[in-house]
Structure 1
Amino acid sequence: MHVIQDLLNLINKGEDLLVPFAKIHPHIKELMIECESITSGKKDVTNCNLRQIEYILCYLHDHLNIGKWDEVAEYYRQAYTSASYMKTLIVLQLNSSFNIDKNIEVVKTALQVIDKGFLLGLPLVSNLTLLTDCARILTKYVSENSVSSSKFNQTEELSSFPHKKQKVEHKVPVSGRPIDGVVCPSIEMFRKEYFTPEKPLVIREGMTTWPAMTKWLDINYLLNIGGDRTVPIEIGSSYSSDDFSQRLMTFRDFIKNYYNAEDGKEIGYLAQHDLLTQIPTLIEDIKVPDYCCLKRIQESDDYNDIDDVEPEINAWIGPKGTVSSLHFDPKDNLLCQVYGAKQIIMFAPSDTKYLYVYDDMPMLSNTSQVDPTNPDLSSFAEFKNATLYTCILQAGEMVYIPPKWWHHIIALEKSFSVNFWWQ
């Protein structure tokens, strides 16, 4: 398959693949050196190489799951990236065939390896976009050699996808003080009246130039560019519930089994995922709001020392009923609704004392035990003293959530949101 040579051509510096292994057990490094030699054509690929690279990935996976995720050494995650790339080459070389249908399945398997590397790894120093570029090549091969493989042929499934652009009126499930709403405020107005005083705001008509507002309504568009990609899906009523778990599956399986499922027995949510980096075509369909360029500068700060950091961008896709438990984030946040509607509930940081944080659970230290849509006042009596702010976020609207403002979000219908975190 020509894709093998295309993947080999992506490497800027071959030694970059081995750099992360300098601090890893010598035996693992030796195995990786032996596997890496195939990139230079020094040896033919064998099943032994496949067993070696799978052993390396298992070893690295074990180390990625020891302790807290944010404390994992970067070189372990970069090594996982290198090993994922190597396994992809080995899988392709061992299983390439003159049979196009067989090759497509092999490429899909290789794509799953790349996606797991993307999810668990980190970019290499001299090959920053290695896995993303691999995925682009593999996805293109599948697309060019498949016959309508990504399309839903079942009319019911296609018709259940939201393809109408009109605004849907929803009854507000929870009453409270309304969050301010302004039609596309100027940067200066936003800075002065909302950003600096850290006050929430619904921004209307701020997404009219996004191609996503029309393109993402087409399920086949999304499936054609990302149907075979592996994504993490949250399973359960919310991330703080007892039934919460995560599963890896293809985007197509998520759409079919959770997004479009009619029985609603189990809720699946593609939440807080860097989908637009994983599938770069999607990033072309949005525009980073100008409001994200604003920064808070203290009097003691030298403006020239303030880094111009790009915002973190996450995708949120799910059926009606997905919930983000009441929590806060440390960064400025713009949640942008591409389609569907969500109820937003907020509380000011000053009300934290009324919100019953999970003090005994470090992983939920930014999360409240209270369900603001149905509070148990017998257990959380002080909650009645908190001031609730709310709005219905409609398609084409953004909501600004200031740092440390508590927010609870529930989807009132199928929806696709993109959020921007910046600091």
Structure 2
Amino acid sequence: MARRIPVPQLEGVTREEFLQRIYPQRKPVVLKGIDLGTCTTKWTADYISQVGGTKEVKIHVSTVPQMDFIKLCLLTGLYTGLQKTSTRNSLFQSHQRALVEREEKYYLRSLGEDPRKDVADIRKQFPLLEGDIKIPEFFEKEQFFSSVFRISSPGLQLWTHYDVMDNFLIQVTGKKRVVLFSPRDAQYLYLSGTKSEVLNLDNPDLNKYPLFFKARRFECVLEAGDVLFIPALWFHNVISEEFGVGVNVFWKHLSSECYDKTDTYGNKDPTAASRAMQILDRALKTLDDLPEEYRDFYARRMVLRIQDKAFSSNYE
């Protein structure tokens, strides 16, 4: 079983304390006692249904608690907040009954007006809700990237993944358990792109993923009103222990030129990293011209060079 390390919890942290003492460490921390406005008491399902505004949204539906992004089924409907405008019945309530009876889980993630071009921004997609929440101003305004509105059914577990930007996970209502892994443990997570293939973290198949137990496992439970700082590149897996509403706020830790300009989700690798991976792929392809014994030998030499470069860093 992976080593379990509790994520530190700090009460009443100010902007100055965060920027000077916490942020430079580049490690997750739970911030408690932050003034988030009236959202923590207002954002019930009924309230959101009344003031959410007319918006077409997509709900991800899974037949198992561990949601696999590749196998998601997408349901699309026209909502007034969480209401279906054609019948005025709460689509949230009707789907909740159906999904519970069928043992399905649902997950809503807000999108930009055109998801291919626009980022999610609660101020634009849900302007009547935006006034209820105070986003912690722990970064410069020009660093802001997106603010993502989320709703999760109880028992839902999202896939383990990393983002390339720093973010706050604001737990407005409900409770979540969050498991995080350091970027230094990426080699134990069996990655497919930005996501881990290991879906069931509590009972992983160690025959299929034998190195997974080596990964250091950081854990915390978020209550309503808590804010989790997730540094860029930290892997995270979120389990909704209750029906909950949350907001993710992403901001640019690097200069804007470093990021892929077509990235509207904050999860495309920086352009320099993408180029390096492409060069590596071409280098490995070049070895195909050699006999197997030579391919193996020079591939191992390439691995040693990369390890030497990576492990010479003081970054933890």
**How high is the TM-score relative to the length of structure 2?**
0.67
Aligned position for 1:313 = 147
> Would the aligned equivalents of 1:258 and 1:267 in 2 still touch at CA under 8 Å?
no
- Structure 1 position 228, deviation (Å): 4.6
Find out whether 1:226 has 2:52 as its counterpart: yes
CA displacement at 1:369 relative to structure 2: 0.6
Structure 1 moving runs of 4+ over 6 Å: none
1:384 is matched with 213
3-state DSSP of counterpart to 1:255: helix
Shift of 1:398: 0.5
Measured in 1, the distance between the counterparts of 2:71 and 2:144 equals 35
* 2:246 alignment partner in structure 1: 417
Q: What is the deviation of 1:310?
A: 2.8
Q: Which of the two has higher C-alpha Rg?
A: 1
- The residue that corresponds to 1:255 in the other structure is 92
The AA in structure 1 aligned to 2:155 is G
The offset of 1:231, in angstroms, is: 1.1
Relative to the length of structure 1, the TM-score reads: 0.51
Corresponding residue to 1:189 among 2, 14, 17? 17
Amino acid at match of 2:107: Y
Taking a change above 3 Å as real, the CA distance of residues 264 and 183 of structure 1, as seen in their structure-2 partners, is: farther
* Secondary structure, counterpart of 1:320 in structure 2: coil
Tell me which residue corresponds to 1:346: 180
Which structure 2 residues correspond to residues 152-167 of structure 1 after superposition, within 5 A? Answer: none
Whether 2:39 is the aligned partner of 1:212: answer: yes
For structure 2, which runs of at least 5 residues remain unmatched after alignment?
Answer: 85-90, 112-119, 253-316
Give the equivalent residue in structure 2 for 1:330.
164
Instruction: Tell me the SS of whatever aligns to 2:221.
Output: strand
State the Cα distance separating 1:242 from its structure 2 match.
5.7
What letter matches 2:23 in structure 1?
A: F
Give the aligned residue type for 1:338. V
- Compute the displacement of 1:241 (Å): 5.1
RMSD (Å) for aligned C-alpha atoms: 2.2
- Inter-partner Cα distance in structure 1 for 2:186 and 2:151: 29
Contact 1:326 1:368 in 2 (8 A): yes
Q: Indicate the residue corresponding to 1:265 in structure 2.
A: 103
8 Å CA contact 1:260, 1:319 repeated in 2: no
Q: How does 1:16-415 map to 2 (within 5 A)?
A: 176-207=4-35, 209-217=36-44, 219-226=45-52, 228-236=54-62, 237=64, 240=68, 243-249=71-77, 250=79, 251-253=82-84, 254-259=91-96, 261=98, 262-273=100-111, 274=120, 276=122, 277-293=124-140, 308-358=142-192, 365-371=193-199, 372-415=201-244
Equivalent-residue separation in structure 2 for 1:369 and 1:349 (angstroms) = 16
Distance 1:374 1:190 in 2: 35
Provide the aligned length of Structure 1 versus Structure 2: 229
Aligned to 2:281: none
The structure with higher relative contact order (CA 8 Å, sep 6+) is 2
Bigger strand fraction: 2
> 1 or 2, which has the higher helix percentage?
1
Q: Give the % identical residues.
A: 28
Other structure's SS at 2:238 match: strand
Distance 2:131 2:27 in 1: 30
